[in-house]
Structure 1
Amino acid sequence: TSRRAANDDRETIGQLLQALQKGRPARSVYTFATIFAGVWLAACAALTFGFLPSIQAAMGQSGGVLVIAGLIAMFFAPIMLFYFLASLVWRGQEMRMIAQAMAQVAIRFSEPEGSASDSMVTVGQAIRREVAAMGDGIERAI
């Protein structure tokens, strides 16, 4: 059986930095944005179909082009807002992951004596094993 130090479950600095570079937040927020955009477009299509006679009457007037441009802007501006919000949420998740990793690294750096004593214990154990192995070898040789 091999003995492990009490804090062997702690990640090394290299592992923390690697996790920082590998980890990515879930892209499910973009899926939700796409679903909301689809629902929004379906509702806009239903409203357009319901008010089609009024829209056609507005197009016959002098400012009809502006009415249509305004309707199109009202239909597509919320879709851009959905994706903008999804991007903000995704970036927020990414920033939270980075902050957690940086906090762990900062905690490690704030306790250098813990890392140094852990290393010394490990080196001491290795030296003891080697001395014991040499003692066994010498006993067998004698």
Structure 2
Amino acid sequence: MDTSNNVRLQLQQQQARKSNQNIQVYVRVRPLNPRERCIRSAEVVDVLNPREILTRHTLDSKLTKKFTFDRSFGPASKQCDVYAVVVSPLIEEVLSGYNCTLPRPKQTPPHLGGRTSSHSKRHYNPTTNVAEEARPIQ
């Protein structure tokens, strides 16, 4: 009797969880990079509160757009803050047996302040216990 009640309760919890599935969208506004500060670029994205940002075309522009997210992080936010709010809850979901996806956004191109170095693709070789350079099959 207890086993059937436990199974029934687990199925109800799974169904409730499936009906509550949704996509969450987060934004992190980066600070100006050294080049942008040097040429005195204006910050045209403001974090209004933990859920909204405001964008404008120029510093003096009256034309603005407000965007709402599940959570927004300002330029002063730290990586550990983003991890605690965004990633940590997903880890718990994965460990509970649920599928979770955390897409990594594309990196800012070098001419817009991104990194200039390239990272080589690596894969793990289980026989040698070593990460090796990935090479195309010839």
Measured against the shorter chain, the TM-score band is: under 0.3
TM-score, normalised with respect to structure 1: 0.23
Q: TM-score, normalised by structure 2?
A: 0.24
Higher strand share: 2
Relative to its length, the structure with more helix (as a share) is 1
